[in-house]
Structure 1
Amino acid sequence: MNSLRISGTVALTATALLLTGCGAADSTGSNGGTLKVAVLAASSQNGYNQAVYQGVQEAAAASGKKISLKLLDGQFDSNTQLSQLQNVTSTGDYDGVVVVPNDGVGLAAAFPLSRKIPVATVLNPVGPDINKMEPQVDGVVTTVGVPPTTAAEKQAEGVATYCADINPCNVVLLVGNLSTPLDVARRDAYKKVLGTHSNIKVVSTVEGQYDRDTSLKAISNVLQAHKDVNVILSNADQEAAGAQIALQNAGIKPSSIYLTGAGGTKDAVAAVRAGTWKAAYVNFPVSMGKAAMEQLVKAMDGGTAKAVVNADEVGATEPYATKETLAKTPDFTGEWNG
C-alpha cells in the first residue's frame, strides 16, 4: 500500500491513449473537444500503479466522453514526479491529473498550481498530513484512500488478538521503507497498538522495500537471531511472500505463526484462503483508479467532485481479510498481481 512499491511484471507504456465512450458527446476540454488527462504513476513499472491505471482507463472509456490519457513514469523518485506535475499543470495542454503520489508530502510543493486544473490523488493524500484524506491543498479535488494509521492499527489489532494467550508473543515488523512518511506512520501505528499489550515484544523491525527478495533476505537474517518468532506483520504482500519463503527455508511452517501482509494481491488472497497466511489487508487498486477518474470527470465538467472516496468501500470484499471473511465472497480473487 505511497510509496506503496508493489512490483509488477508488465510495464505500462507512457504514451497517449484516446478512449471514446459509446454515445460520446463533445466535452469542453481545451483540446478540440477531447479531455486530456495526465496520469502520474509513482512508477509505471509497478503492479499496483498498473492496476490503478487500468481502473482509470476503464472509467474513461465508460464516461461517454472523448478522453486522452497520457501516462508518466515517476520512477519512484519524488523529484521526478514533482517536476512532472509542475510541467503538466503549466503547459495548458491538460484538463486534469490523476496521481499516485510517491511522496504526497513533498508533492505539495507543486501547489498552488501555475494553471488551475483539477487533481485526483490515489492511495496517498497530497499535503503535510499523511492521515488527512480531505484535500489539503488548493487544486486537489478528490482523494481515494484511507488514513494509513487507521489501516495499520487494524492490522496490529489482529496481531494483538492472536497474541492474547501467548506470553511472550514475539513480533517482527516488516515495513517497506522507513525513509518515507507513509511507512513511518505505519510503523508508529503498529508500535502504538502493540505497545499497549505487556505480553507482546517487538523483537525486530526491518525494511522489505516492497520486494520479495529483499524481504526474504531480511527475514532470513532475523530468524537467525530470533528462532521463536510468533508473528510477522508486514505492510505489503510481496514482503510477506518473501517472509513466507524465509520461514520455509528455516524449517518453519508459515501457517504455524501469524503471517500477514497488505495490498490484496491475488497470491495473498489465495494464501489467506488456504490458511498459509492468517490475514491480509486488501486494497482495490483497479476500483480506486475508477473512482478517481469518475470524480475527476465531474470536476472537469465543472461539477463538484466527492472530496474523499473511502478506498475500503470500493471493492468486492471486506478489506481486512481472513479465511472467515473471504468465505463470504468466494468469487473474489484480488484485483491485481504483485
Structure 2
Amino acid sequence: MMHLSRIVAGAGVLALGASLVACSADSGASSDSYSIVFLASSSQNGYNQAVYEGIEQRAAELSDELGITIDTKIQDGQFDANTQLSQLQNAGTTGQADAVVVVPHDGPALNAAFPLGSDLPVVSVLNPIGPDINEMEPQVEGVVSTVASPPANGAELQAETVVDYCADIDPCKIGLLAGLLNSPLDIERVDAWKGVLEQHDNIEIVGTVEGAYDRDQSLTAVSNLLQANSDINGILSNADQQTLGAQIALENAGIDPASVFLTGGGGTVEAVQAVRDGIWTNDFLNFPVSMGSAALEQAVNALRGETVESVIDADSIVDMGPIVTREDLEAAPDYTGEWNG
C-alpha cells in the first residue's frame, strides 16, 4: 500500500540520547492480550495513515516475538480538537483500550483530558501533549513517551535554507504555505519561520496561506497568492502534500518550479523523487512509519512494566536528513522515503 524504506531502527536504539524512565509493574499487569487504540488527528490524512502502518507492523512483530496478541484500531480525530479530546477521555473511562497512541491535532488542548482516571499509558507522536509545544519530555501524568522533535527547531532549519537561497537575491519574495493556521503546531512553525526570515532585509514575505495538508487546497491557495506575486522567488511549506499543490500552481502560472525555492516536509516518496530530479530545492524528511513503530513499542513496554523511553527524537530515528538536497540523495541512491503522500 505504501512504499517503505527499510531503514528502520532496531529496538533500544530508536533514538539517540533519549532519556529513559522505568515503568513500575503497577503501570501495567502482565497479559497475553493487549488492545491499543490509535487516535489519528485525521484518519484520512496520509501522514496519520503512515503512522498507523508502523503501529500495525510493530504490533504484528511483537505479537510473534513475545507470544502475545496485540490488537490495534484507529479512530478519526477529523482535525478537530474537541473530537480528539472526547476520544481520549472515552479511552480513559470505557476500559476498551489498554493503551493509546495519539497524533495530537492540538497538543495543549489534550492536556485537559488528564488525569484520565485510569492507568492507561499514552504515547504522543509528532508533537507533545501539554502546554509547551516544544517540550518533548512528558508534561502530564499518564503520557509515558513522546516520539517527536521540537517543531520550532525543524522550522528554523527550513527557514535557514531559504536564507541561503536568497543570499544574492534582493528582494527575495517568499510565500509561506502552512498546514492549519489555527493549529498550535503550525502556529509555532510559522512563528519560527518568520523569526528567521524577518532578520534579513532582502527577504520579503509576500503572504501566508493555508494548505490544510492537502494538495488541492494548496493548489488553490498558492494560485491565489501568485496572482499578485508572479515574480515570487520561492514557497516555504511544512508538508509535502502542500508542496505538490504549490508545484502545480507554479506550473499553471508559467513558472518553472526548479527556478524558484521550493521545499516541503514529510519525506514522502514523491518529495524525495522531486528533490532527486532537481524540481524541489530540498525537503525536510519525516519518518512516520518508524515513528508509529517506536510509539507502539513504548506503549507495549509500559503495559509490560518494562523500560520506556520517555523521549524518542523523531529527527534521529532514521540515519538520514532531516533536511536533504539533491546532493545528499545522490550520496544515498537507495533511499526512497517511507510513505506516499
Fold match (TM-score > 0.5): yes
CA contact (8 A) 1:318 1:326 kept: no
Aligned alpha-carbon RMSD (Å): 1.7
1:61 correspondence with 2:64: no
Determine the structure 2 residue equivalent to 1:201: 204
- Give the AA of the match of 2:42: S
CA distance in 2, matches of 1:180, 1:108: 15
1:128 correspondence with 2:131: yes
The alpha-carbon distance between structure 1 residues 32 and 181, as it changes in their structure 2 partners (threshold 3 A), is closer
CA contact (8 A) 2:264 2:282 kept: yes
Q: Which of 230, 242, 246 does residue 245 from structure 2 map onto?
A: 242
Structure 1 vs Structure 2: percent identity of aligned residues?
Answer: 58
1:37 correspondence with 2:40: no
Determine the structure 2 residue equivalent to 1:188: 191
Bigger relative contact order, structure 1 or 2, given CA contacts below 8 A and separation 6+?
2
CA contact (8 A) 1:262 1:283 kept: yes
CA distance in 2, matches of 1:223, 1:35: 51
Deviation of 1:34 after TM superposition, in Å, equals 0.6
CA distance in 1, matches of 2:278, 2:194: 25
Deviation of 1:212 after TM superposition, in Å, equals 1.1
CA distance in 2, matches of 1:224, 1:202: 15
CA distance in 2, matches of 1:284, 1:199: 34
1:170 correspondence with 2:159: no
- Give the AA of the match of 2:304: D
CA distance in 2, matches of 1:68, 1:30: 17
Task: Report the TM-score when normalising by structure 2.
Answer: 0.88
CA distance in 2, matches of 1:327, 1:316: 15
CA distance in 2, matches of 1:152, 1:93: 38
Q: Which runs of at least 4 in structure 1 moved beyond 3 Å after TM superposition?
A: 28-32
Deviation of 1:217 after TM superposition, in Å, equals 1.3
Paired residues for 1:253-292 under 5 Å: 253-292=256-295
- Give the AA of the match of 2:141: D
Deviation of 1:254 after TM superposition, in Å, equals 0.4
1:147 correspondence with 2:150: yes
State the aligned residue count: 313
CA distance in 1, matches of 2:159, 2:75: 35
CA contact (8 A) 1:273 1:326 kept: yes
- SS of 1:76 mapped into structure 2: coil
Q: Which of 190, 215, 231 does residue 228 from structure 1 map onto?
A: 231
Deviation of 1:304 after TM superposition, in Å, equals 2.8
Determine the structure 1 residue equivalent to 2:314: 311
Deviation of 1:30 after TM superposition, in Å, equals 7.1
- Give the AA of the match of 1:186: R
CA distance in 2, matches of 1:134, 1:142: 8
Unpaired segments of 5 or more residues in structure 1? Answer: 1-7, 10-27
CA contact (8 A) 2:269 2:337 kept: yes
Determine the structure 2 residue equivalent to 1:72: 75
Task: Report the TM-score when normalising by structure 1.
Answer: 0.89
Deviation of 1:187 after TM superposition, in Å, equals 0.6
- Give the AA of the match of 1:61: A
Unpaired segments of 5 or more residues in structure 2? Answer: 3-26
CA contact (8 A) 1:31 1:93 kept: no
1:217 correspondence with 2:216: no
CA distance in 2, matches of 1:307, 1:281: 24
1:115 correspondence with 2:114: no
- SS of 2:308 mapped into structure 1: coil
The alpha-carbon distance between structure 1 residues 146 and 29, as it changes in their structure 2 partners (threshold 3 A), is closer
Q: Which moved more, 1:163-172 or 1:213-222?
A: 213-222
